[in-house]
Structure 1
């Protein structure tokens, strides 16, 4: 398995690779600019840029046909999907390295993603997509109106939720 297979998915098209890496790079540059403008310490700036690269790129990559085939192929279970969500510990990484990010905010964001993922994975298949959008809407409301993050990280919780709850957890539906 080569780097593209690991970063995108096996069998990704050239367009999927360009879309994924293009979004990742543009998002990292945008977040880097916001972090620098906020005068964050160097370590914080670096962490924010790496997290942005992952989330901006991951939101796009996880929505590709190649990633859908890979993550929703034979043998993939709810346990695999919940583990994928649980391993996204970026909120705690930000709390550890970025001034103004509270551990309680990190826990609320991570917890929202986990609770949302459980609700999506236990939903019956015919309503999984609307349930995913509903829990994402509620989690977005919670994480952008109750949880406080520095303004330069306003993109973080929405992108994490989009990447995990909408792009990753939802399999493709065959057209009718």
Structure 2
């Protein structure tokens, strides 16, 4: 398995790979620049989180990733596990002053609850449920929670990556309920 197979998905086209790697690099640069007034450790961690989330949002939207993550035998428990391993809110709480544990727990809980709502919805309602969860999650993570201004992108991009890009199968496809 190649690096691209592991980071994007088996069968990713050159165009998909170029777009994914470019988005990840630009996301890392954007996140790092936004955190420029912070310590070196914070800048590095925020840039790495930016690489993962910006790149991952694009990766999860590719046809190759849709085929890979929604292939036969991959169902609800796999999708929820994928969401659950996204512990970046707690990494940020550990490293970034002003990104507290309450905010981290709230973002993580919103993310998991939204993922459960999406995967529990009937197939014909998963897309609108995912969008409803994402828009309300964006409001909570940007207007209700207190996080440093340079991380206001974090909650929305995390929700886009997981709810809209990862959990939704390709248009016209039906996800596996397993």
Q: TM-score range by the shorter chain?
A: over 0.9
Partner of residue 99, structure 1: 97
Deviation at 1:77, TM superposition (A): 1.1
Deviation at 1:157, TM superposition (A): 0.5
Partner Cα distance (1:123, 1:4) in 2: 32
> 1:98-145, CA deviations, whole angstroms, 9 ceiling, x for partnerless residues?
111000000100110100000000000011101110111111111111
Greater than 3 Å deviation, 4+ residue runs? none
Deviation at 1:174, TM superposition (A): 2.9
Partner of residue 22, structure 1: 22
TM superposition score normalised by structure 2:
0.95
Partner of residue 71, structure 1: 69
TM superposition score normalised by structure 1:
0.96
> 1:19-59, CA deviations, whole angstroms, 9 ceiling, x for partnerless residues?
101100011111111111xx211111110000000000000
Partner Cα distance (1:60, 1:73) in 2: 19
Partner of residue 155, structure 1: 153
Partner Cα distance (2:73, 2:81) in 1: 14
Deviation at 1:173, TM superposition (A): 1.7
SS at match of 1:62: helix
Root-mean-square deviation (Å): 0.9
